[in-house]
Chains A and B, each alone.
Chain A
């Protein structure tokens, strides 16, 4: 019995004869993979509408589970190898999820303050009152904007509290 060290702890390691699977198991796995392939094609034929992608992915995951578990011996292998494999899938998941968080949420936080939903709860910035708009369309555009006059003080009034309202209330 060769003396040796595994992960720093002294242990007698037997001549590691690997778990050898009978040929029948291989054939069974192969058979089920074939069935699942046919199933994949059938799934794509049937009109499942929006569910077709998840179902196709599910079938692919089952097939890959067979290949990984039996053909790649992960089922009978040291647990650290499975940890490496599924750890990688976790990081791929992070990559996909956070990228799609960005792609799918563009513009959702716009007008957070203006439509008051956020501002009201925290009273941080007072949403400016919609100043009555006389100016519509292009033709009036070249006269000075009528509301310019009273807009200034309104803004100043509004701007000032907003600024102070800002700092202390956090």
Chain B
């Protein structure tokens, strides 16, 4: 693992050398499918800019030299404007700019496309460390404390050539999940899930940085993503592999929380969705609920919101009931585990994808 020796990061660099090994002049190595798209647009704009820049500077230097003042009252040209040139140098840039926009927009939406076989990753950012958990695999990569500097670094693992969807949230302030080698970045906003989907292609280890200023150790909120080929990934998944073992080994981690916080006291989990005090939770994920704020699809955001701030969208028919607010009492991990438990009730496999409730009213 990335052992940090006494004099700082110099050694650490050796462990991550290949991040820059086959990097192009401008960009780090292309380690995801999005990387090739971004780099092709980057090169297109780069060569367009270089071309125009050279043309403009050549014109400037030539004019400055050719028309330099040779005699005190040297006569100068009376030309004031020229409609043809002015039209050309307005229209041509406009067309080129629209092309760049369209290309950029198309690749941008690729980040929000979530194929059904994507591996789901739940990333929680808090002041100065990342915690990456795998809801489907019941594994959780927690930060390791560096004995010398006291800062935390997290290493997590991904299978090559399989899309993964990151579901980002933050415990305190804004952070931003950035893997330069994958060309992906998204802010972690408290109280909300944001995310993207990308497919790592080249096995290796790559940097993870926090790109949104978040306080003292903003520059030490580092991490490493290890992209594994097929058999390494299988080894990682195997029982005896110690990496990112969930400390609460019991698979029913969510179930135990459900009991611990007394959810069972008001919500039934049986198939008949019996009403104890609050609505039954069996088969709730994905179902359309009519609530005080209109019809809402019960996706992750809705579940999270209802757990932590119940009064925001009360299911119709339960107006009188007041569910206590769990704001600040549950950590992100626990909320994530509870949501997975509720989703697992009816064997409803995880629909993945960055869950923002597309309100349909």
| A binding-site residues for B, Cβ under 8 Å | 106-114, 118-119, 122, 124-125, 127-128, 130-131, 133, 135-139, 141-145, 147-149, 151-152, 155-156, 159, 162-163, 166-167, 170
Contact = CB atoms under 8 A, between A and B. Distances in A.
Given A110-B356, A144-B234, A151 B114 contact: no
Contacts of B354: 107, 110
Given A107-B357, A156-B161, A163-B33, A133 B99 contact: no
B109 interface: yes
B156 to A, nearest CB: 17
B102 A170 contact: yes
Given A122-B106, A138-B251, A114 B113 contact: yes
Interface class of chain A by DSSP: loop
Nearest to A166: B37
B199 A155 contact: yes
Interface class of chain B by DSSP: loop
A149 B229 CA distance: 11
A125 to B, nearest CB: 6
B239 A106 contact: no
A170 B44 CA distance: 12
Given A130-B117, A142-B239, A163-B33, A148 B234 contact: yes
Contacts of A114: 113-116, 353
Contact of A109 (B112, B137, B347): B112
A107 to B, nearest CB: 3
B344 A138 contact: yes
Interface in B243-258: 251
Contact of B162 (A108, A155, A162): A155
Interface of B: 33, 36-37, 40, 99, 102-103, 106-107, 109-110, 112-117, 136-138, 159-163, 199, 201, 230, 233-234, 237-239, 251, 344, 347, 349, 353-354, 356-358
Contacts of A156: 161
B113 A113 contact: yes
B39 to A, nearest CB: 10
B98 to A, nearest CB: 11
Contact of A163 (B36, B103, B116): B36
Contacts of A159: 33, 161, 199, 201
Contacts of A125: 110, 113
B305 to A, nearest CB: 14
A162 B161 CA distance: 13
A75 to B, nearest CB: 40
A111 B199 contact: no
B114 A144 contact: no
B139 to A, nearest CB: 9
B180 to A, nearest CB: 19
B353 A144 contact: no
Contact of A128 (B112, B117, B138, B237): B117
B353 A110 contact: yes
A110 B233 contact: no
- The 7 lowest CB-CB distance pairs between A and B, nearest first, are A113-B113, A107-B356, A144-B234, A155-B161, A114-B113, A130-B116, A128-B115
A129 to B, nearest CB: 9
Contacts of B237: 142-145
A101 B40 CA distance: 30
Given A144-B237, A166-B36, A108 B358 contact: yes
B233 A148 contact: yes
Nearest to A155: B161
